[in-house]
Amino acid sequence: MKLYQGRIPQRRQGGGSRRPESLWRRVPLAFLASAVLALGCSNGTSTDGGTGGVQTTGGSATTSAVTGGSAPGGTSQATGGSATGGATTSGSAGTTQVTSASATAGSATGGSASGGTPQTTGGASAGGFSSTGGAATGGGATGGSVTGGNATGGSATGGSATGGGTTSSTSTGGRTSGGSVTGGSATGGTSAGGRASGGSVTDGGATGGRAAGGATGGASGGTVLGGTTSAGGVSGGTTASAGTTASGILAATPPMGWNSWNKFGGGVTDTLVRGIADAMVSSGMQAVGYQYINIDDMWQSSRDASGNIVPNASKFPNGMKALADYVHSKGLKLGLYSDRGTKTCAGVPGSYSYETKDAQSYASWGVDYLKYDNCNTAAGSNMQTDYTNMANALKATGRPIVFSICAWWFYNWEPTTGQLWRTGTDITDTWDTDSHSVIALINNNGGWSGRYSGASYGSPGLAQYAGPGHWNDPDMLEVGNGGMTDTEYQSHFSLWAIMAAPLIAGNDIRSMSAATKNILTNADVIAVDQDLLGIQGKPISTSTTLEVWSKKLSGNQTYAVVLFNRTTASASITVTWASLGMTATSATVRDLWSHTDLGPTATQYAASVPSHGVVMLKVVGN
pLDDT at 245: 53
Mean pLDDT (whole number) for 282-293: 98
Say what the pLDDT of residue 468 is. 98
pLDDT for the residue numbered 314? 98
| Residue 466, phi-psi category: left (phi > 0), alpha (psi -120 to 50), beta (remainder) | beta
Residue 10: which region, alpha, beta or left (left: phi > 0; alpha: psi -120 to 50)? alpha
Rounded Cα gap, residues 618 and 622, in angstroms: 13
pLDDT at 103 over 50: no
Give the Cα separation of 234 and 255 in Å (integer). Answer: 22
Residue 268 pLDDT exceeds 60: yes
Q: pTM surpassing 0.85? A: no
Least confidently predicted of 10-19, 166-175, 398-407, 517-526: 166-175
CA distance 71 to 95: 8
pLDDT surpassing 90 at residue 2: no
| Residue-level pLDDT at 174 | 29
- 211-261: pLDDT as tens digits: 333 332 333 333 332 333 333 332 333 333 345 554 689 999 999 999 999
Average pLDDT over the chain, rounded to an integer? 71
Q: What is the pLDDT of residues 383-405, one digit of tens each?
A: 999 999 999 999 999 999 999 99
Question: Cβ distance 495 to 440 under 8 Å?
Answer: no
Q: Which helix (H) or strand (E) holds 440?
A: helix 438-446
Q: Residue 616 forms beta bridges with which residues?
A: 562
- What are the domain boundaries of the chain? 24-41+251-413, 49-185+200-217+225-249, 538-621
Residue spans of alpha helices (H) in 146-249: none
Residues with catalytic annotation? 373, 426
DSSP states of 461-492: -SGGG-BTTBEEE-----TTSSSS-HHHHHHH
pLDDT at res. 210: 29
The arithmetic mean of pLDDT across residues 144-156, rounded, is 30
Run of H or E including 357: helix 355-365
Taking CA atoms, 93 is separated from 135, 346, 483, 580, in Å, by: 19, 62, 66, 49
pLDDT in tens, 492-535: 999 999 999 999 999 999 999 999 999 999 999 999 999 999 99
Residue 68: strand, helix, or coil: coil
Write down the pLDDT at residue 101.
Answer: 30
**In CATH, 24-41+251-413 is 3.20.20.70:** yes
- How far out from the chain centre does Cα 193 lie? 27
Give 369 or 113, the one with higher predicted confidence: 369
Give residue 433's pLDDT band: very low, low, confident or very high (50, 70, 90): very high
Task: Give the pLDDT confidence score for residue 599 in this predicted structure.
Answer: 87
Q: Which fold has domain 538-621?
A: Immunoglobulin-like (2.60.40)
pLDDT reading at 562 higher than 80: yes
Average pLDDT in the 361-367 region?
Answer: 98
- Nearest CA to 153 out of 121, 174, 184 is that of 184
| Cβ–Cβ under 8 Å, residues 254 and 285 | no
Q: How far apart are the C-alpha atoms of 381 and 385, rounded to whole Å?
A: 8
The rounded Cα 395 to chain-centroid distance in angstroms is: 17
Percentage of residues in the chain having pLDDT higher than 70: 60
Mean pLDDT of 330-350: 98
pLDDT tens sequence across 581-608: 999 999 999 999 999 999 899 999 999 9
